[in-house]
Amino acid sequence: MSKILIVALYKFVPLDDFEAMRDPLKAFCQERDVRGSILLASEGLNGTIAGPEEGLREVLAYLQSDPRMSELEYKEAWADRHVFKRMKVRLKQEIVRLAVDGIDPNDVVGTYVQPEDWNALISDPEVVVIDTRNDYEFAFGTFDGAMNPETQSFREFPEWVRKAQELENKPKIAMFCTGGIRCEKASSLMLQQGFDEVYHLQGGILNYLEKVPEEQSLWKGECFVFDDRVSVDHKLQPRWGAWVPEEAKHIINDDTDYD
Protein backbone atom coordinates (compact mmCIF):
# COMPACT_ATOMS: atom_id res chain seq x y z
CA MET A 1 0.00 0.00 0.00
CA SER A 2 1.24 3.49 -0.83
CA LYS A 3 2.46 5.23 2.29
CA ILE A 4 3.15 8.78 1.16
CA LEU A 5 0.33 11.21 0.39
CA ILE A 6 1.18 13.94 -2.12
CA VAL A 7 -0.87 17.11 -2.31
CA ALA A 8 -0.63 19.88 -4.91
CA LEU A 9 -2.32 23.00 -3.56
CA TYR A 10 -2.86 26.67 -4.29
CA LYS A 11 -5.02 29.62 -3.38
CA PHE A 12 -5.15 33.16 -4.74
CA VAL A 13 -6.03 35.26 -1.71
CA PRO A 14 -4.54 38.46 -0.24
CA LEU A 15 -2.00 37.57 2.46
CA ASP A 16 -0.69 40.76 4.01
CA ASP A 17 1.15 38.74 6.64
CA PHE A 18 2.71 36.15 4.32
CA GLU A 19 6.22 36.81 5.61
CA ALA A 20 5.17 36.04 9.19
CA MET A 21 3.49 32.82 8.04
CA ARG A 22 6.72 31.26 6.79
CA ASP A 23 8.53 30.00 9.90
CA PRO A 24 5.51 28.58 11.80
CA LEU A 25 4.32 26.77 8.67
CA LYS A 26 7.74 25.30 7.94
CA ALA A 27 8.14 24.11 11.54
CA PHE A 28 4.64 22.58 11.58
CA CYS A 29 5.47 20.60 8.42
CA GLN A 30 8.89 19.47 9.60
CA GLU A 31 7.50 18.18 12.90
CA ARG A 32 5.27 15.81 10.87
CA ASP A 33 7.87 14.71 8.30
CA VAL A 34 5.99 16.60 5.61
CA ARG A 35 8.34 17.67 2.84
CA GLY A 36 8.07 19.65 -0.36
CA SER A 37 7.89 23.27 -1.43
CA ILE A 38 5.41 26.02 -0.61
CA LEU A 39 5.60 29.51 -2.06
CA LEU A 40 4.06 32.40 -0.13
CA ALA A 41 3.36 35.84 -1.56
CA SER A 42 1.02 38.72 -0.98
CA GLU A 43 -1.27 37.18 -3.63
CA GLY A 44 -1.57 33.75 -1.98
CA LEU A 45 -0.03 30.31 -1.60
CA ASN A 46 1.16 27.62 -4.03
CA GLY A 47 3.01 24.38 -3.55
CA THR A 48 3.31 20.62 -3.49
CA ILE A 49 3.89 18.75 -0.24
CA ALA A 50 4.15 15.08 0.67
CA GLY A 51 4.35 12.95 3.77
CA PRO A 52 2.65 10.32 5.93
CA GLU A 53 -1.11 10.70 5.56
CA GLU A 54 -1.85 11.62 9.17
CA GLY A 55 0.78 14.33 9.28
CA LEU A 56 -0.09 15.75 5.90
CA ARG A 57 -3.78 15.99 6.72
CA GLU A 58 -2.81 17.84 9.89
CA VAL A 59 -0.92 20.33 7.72
CA LEU A 60 -3.97 20.78 5.50
CA ALA A 61 -6.13 21.35 8.58
CA TYR A 62 -3.56 23.85 9.86
CA LEU A 63 -3.71 25.81 6.61
CA GLN A 64 -7.50 25.65 6.37
CA SER A 65 -7.90 26.85 9.95
CA ASP A 66 -7.02 30.27 8.52
CA PRO A 67 -10.37 31.58 7.19
CA ARG A 68 -8.58 32.91 4.12
CA MET A 69 -7.56 29.34 3.25
CA SER A 70 -10.88 27.65 3.98
CA GLU A 71 -11.45 26.95 0.27
CA LEU A 72 -7.90 25.84 -0.49
CA GLU A 73 -7.67 24.03 -3.85
CA TYR A 74 -5.73 20.76 -3.71
CA LYS A 75 -5.29 17.46 -5.54
CA GLU A 76 -4.11 14.19 -3.99
CA ALA A 77 -1.86 11.41 -5.25
CA TRP A 78 0.11 8.58 -3.63
CA ALA A 79 3.59 7.09 -3.72
CA ASP A 80 5.37 4.29 -1.88
CA ARG A 81 8.25 6.53 -0.81
CA HIS A 82 9.05 10.19 -0.21
CA VAL A 83 9.17 12.34 -3.33
CA PHE A 84 10.96 15.33 -1.75
CA LYS A 85 14.21 15.53 0.21
CA ARG A 86 13.25 18.35 2.58
CA MET A 87 10.68 21.04 3.36
CA LYS A 88 11.04 24.51 1.84
CA VAL A 89 8.78 27.50 2.44
CA ARG A 90 9.84 30.45 0.31
CA LEU A 91 8.75 34.06 0.08
CA LYS A 92 8.09 35.30 -3.46
CA GLN A 93 6.72 38.27 -5.37
CA GLU A 94 4.21 35.95 -7.07
CA ILE A 95 3.09 32.38 -6.31
CA VAL A 96 3.35 31.63 -10.04
CA ARG A 97 5.42 34.20 -11.85
CA LEU A 98 3.96 35.82 -14.94
CA ALA A 99 5.68 39.19 -14.36
CA VAL A 100 2.81 41.26 -15.81
CA ASP A 101 1.31 44.10 -13.81
CA GLY A 102 -2.41 44.18 -13.13
CA ILE A 103 -3.10 40.43 -13.39
CA ASP A 104 -5.34 39.27 -10.55
CA PRO A 105 -7.40 36.07 -10.96
CA ASN A 106 -9.57 37.20 -8.06
CA ASP A 107 -10.76 40.10 -10.23
CA VAL A 108 -10.80 38.64 -13.75
CA VAL A 109 -10.43 35.00 -14.72
CA GLY A 110 -11.48 32.73 -17.57
CA THR A 111 -14.39 30.29 -17.59
CA TYR A 112 -13.71 27.08 -15.69
CA VAL A 113 -14.44 23.85 -17.55
CA GLN A 114 -14.97 20.60 -15.65
CA PRO A 115 -12.96 17.56 -16.80
CA GLU A 116 -16.15 15.83 -17.92
CA ASP A 117 -16.85 18.68 -20.38
CA TRP A 118 -13.30 19.20 -21.60
CA ASN A 119 -13.29 16.70 -24.48
CA ALA A 120 -16.25 18.36 -26.16
CA LEU A 121 -14.67 21.80 -25.87
CA ILE A 122 -11.28 20.91 -27.31
CA SER A 123 -12.89 18.85 -30.09
CA ASP A 124 -14.60 21.99 -31.41
CA PRO A 125 -12.69 22.99 -34.60
CA GLU A 126 -13.20 26.68 -33.79
CA VAL A 127 -11.37 26.36 -30.47
CA VAL A 128 -7.62 26.97 -30.19
CA VAL A 129 -6.19 24.69 -27.49
CA ILE A 130 -3.12 26.01 -25.67
CA ASP A 131 -0.79 24.09 -23.36
CA THR A 132 0.42 26.85 -21.01
CA ARG A 133 3.20 24.70 -19.56
CA ASN A 134 6.84 24.73 -20.56
CA ASP A 135 8.39 22.92 -23.51
CA TYR A 136 9.98 20.21 -21.36
CA GLU A 137 6.59 19.47 -19.77
CA PHE A 138 4.86 19.34 -23.15
CA ALA A 139 7.42 16.75 -24.28
CA PHE A 140 6.17 14.24 -21.69
CA GLY A 141 2.57 14.43 -22.87
CA THR A 142 -0.28 16.74 -23.84
CA PHE A 143 -3.79 16.82 -25.30
CA ASP A 144 -4.41 16.03 -28.96
CA GLY A 145 -4.01 19.13 -31.10
CA ALA A 146 -2.70 21.42 -28.34
CA MET A 147 -0.39 24.28 -29.25
CA ASN A 148 3.04 24.30 -27.65
CA PRO A 149 4.27 27.85 -26.88
CA GLU A 150 7.78 26.36 -26.50
CA THR A 151 8.52 28.35 -23.37
CA GLN A 152 11.20 27.56 -20.80
CA SER A 153 9.48 29.67 -18.15
CA PHE A 154 5.92 30.87 -17.57
CA ARG A 155 7.29 34.43 -17.75
CA GLU A 156 7.77 33.89 -21.50
CA PHE A 157 4.07 33.15 -22.06
CA PRO A 158 2.86 36.78 -22.44
CA GLU A 159 5.40 37.43 -25.21
CA TRP A 160 4.31 34.26 -27.00
CA VAL A 161 0.67 35.38 -26.85
CA ARG A 162 1.65 38.74 -28.33
CA LYS A 163 3.51 37.18 -31.27
CA ALA A 164 1.48 34.04 -32.06
CA GLN A 165 -0.11 34.41 -35.50
CA GLU A 166 -2.75 31.80 -34.64
CA LEU A 167 -4.14 34.21 -32.03
CA GLU A 168 -4.29 37.37 -34.17
CA ASN A 169 -8.07 37.18 -34.70
CA LYS A 170 -8.77 36.57 -30.99
CA PRO A 171 -10.28 33.07 -31.40
CA LYS A 172 -12.06 31.06 -28.71
CA ILE A 173 -9.36 29.74 -26.37
CA ALA A 174 -9.15 26.57 -24.26
CA MET A 175 -6.07 26.34 -22.06
CA PHE A 176 -4.71 23.88 -19.53
CA CYS A 177 -1.78 23.32 -17.17
CA THR A 178 -0.75 20.76 -14.56
CA GLY A 179 -2.94 21.70 -11.61
CA GLY A 180 -4.81 24.81 -12.73
CA ILE A 181 -2.80 27.65 -11.20
CA ARG A 182 -0.97 28.84 -14.32
CA CYS A 183 -4.25 29.00 -16.23
CA GLU A 184 -5.72 31.26 -13.58
CA LYS A 185 -3.16 33.90 -14.50
CA ALA A 186 -2.93 33.04 -18.20
CA SER A 187 -6.69 33.35 -18.67
CA SER A 188 -6.70 36.64 -16.78
CA LEU A 189 -3.93 37.90 -19.07
CA MET A 190 -5.77 36.93 -22.24
CA LEU A 191 -9.02 38.52 -21.13
CA GLN A 192 -7.03 41.66 -20.33
CA GLN A 193 -5.65 41.58 -23.88
CA GLY A 194 -9.05 41.49 -25.53
CA PHE A 195 -9.91 37.82 -25.96
CA ASP A 196 -13.66 37.38 -25.36
CA GLU A 197 -13.93 33.62 -24.85
CA VAL A 198 -11.24 32.10 -22.66
CA TYR A 199 -11.81 28.70 -21.06
CA HIS A 200 -9.51 26.69 -18.81
CA LEU A 201 -9.51 23.18 -17.36
CA GLN A 202 -10.65 23.20 -13.73
CA GLY A 203 -7.98 21.55 -11.57
CA GLY A 204 -5.70 21.05 -14.56
CA ILE A 205 -4.39 17.85 -16.08
CA LEU A 206 -4.22 16.09 -12.73
CA ASN A 207 -7.94 16.58 -12.20
CA TYR A 208 -8.68 15.39 -15.73
CA LEU A 209 -6.62 12.21 -15.29
CA GLU A 210 -8.45 11.51 -12.04
CA LYS A 211 -11.97 12.15 -13.36
CA VAL A 212 -11.95 10.97 -17.01
CA PRO A 213 -11.68 7.23 -17.75
CA GLU A 214 -8.60 6.35 -19.78
CA GLU A 215 -10.69 4.81 -22.56
CA GLN A 216 -12.47 8.17 -23.04
CA SER A 217 -9.39 10.31 -22.58
CA LEU A 218 -7.87 12.66 -25.14
CA TRP A 219 -4.65 12.91 -23.13
CA LYS A 220 -1.57 11.42 -24.76
CA GLY A 221 1.54 10.44 -22.80
CA GLU A 222 2.53 11.20 -19.23
CA CYS A 223 2.19 14.29 -17.03
CA PHE A 224 5.38 15.87 -15.73
CA VAL A 225 5.47 16.78 -12.03
CA PHE A 226 8.07 18.81 -10.13
CA ASP A 227 9.30 16.13 -7.72
CA ASP A 228 11.10 12.78 -7.64
CA ARG A 229 8.21 11.00 -9.38
CA VAL A 230 9.25 12.94 -12.52
CA SER A 231 5.93 12.11 -14.19
CA VAL A 232 2.67 10.26 -13.59
CA ASP A 233 0.63 8.04 -15.89
CA HIS A 234 -3.09 8.23 -16.59
CA LYS A 235 -3.81 6.45 -13.29
CA LEU A 236 -1.66 9.06 -11.48
CA GLN A 237 0.90 6.38 -10.68
CA PRO A 238 4.53 7.57 -10.36
CA ARG A 239 6.85 6.76 -13.25
CA TRP A 240 10.06 7.60 -11.33
CA GLY A 241 11.86 8.71 -14.49
CA ALA A 242 11.36 5.44 -16.38
CA TRP A 243 11.26 7.57 -19.53
CA VAL A 244 12.52 11.13 -19.88
CA PRO A 245 12.33 13.02 -23.19
CA GLU A 246 15.46 14.79 -24.38
CA GLU A 247 13.84 18.20 -23.80
CA ALA A 248 13.51 17.49 -20.07
CA LYS A 249 16.82 15.90 -19.19
CA HIS A 250 18.32 19.23 -18.12
CA ILE A 251 15.84 19.63 -15.25
CA ILE A 252 15.91 16.14 -13.75
CA ASN A 253 17.64 16.28 -10.35
CA ASP A 254 17.76 20.06 -10.60
CA ASP A 255 16.68 21.76 -7.35
CA THR A 256 15.64 25.01 -9.04
CA ASP A 257 12.12 26.36 -8.54
CA TYR A 258 10.92 26.14 -12.13
CA ASP A 259 7.71 27.85 -13.17
Which amino acids are annotated catalytic? 177
> E strands of the chain, at which residues?
4-12, 35-41, 44-52, 73-79, 87-91, 111-113, 127-131, 141-143, 172-176, 198-201, 219-221, 223-224, 231-232
CA angle 141, 208, 229 (to 5 degrees): 55
8 A C-beta contact, residue 218 and residue 119: yes
* Residues contacting 221, CB < 8 A, separation 6+: 140, 141, 142
How far apart are the C-alpha atoms of 106 and 240, rounded to whole Å?
A: 36
8 A C-beta contact, residue 77 and residue 231: no
How far apart are the C-alpha atoms of 231 and 136, rounded to whole Å?
A: 12
State the distance between the two ends of the chain, measured CA to CA, in whole angstroms.
32
Integer CA distances (angstroms), 202 to 77, 177, 191, 205, 256, in order: 17, 10, 17, 9, 27
* Residues contacting 240, CB < 8 A, separation 6+: 228, 229, 230
DSSP assignments along 205-239, one per residue:
HHHHHHHS-GGG--EEE-EE-SSTT-EE-TT--B-
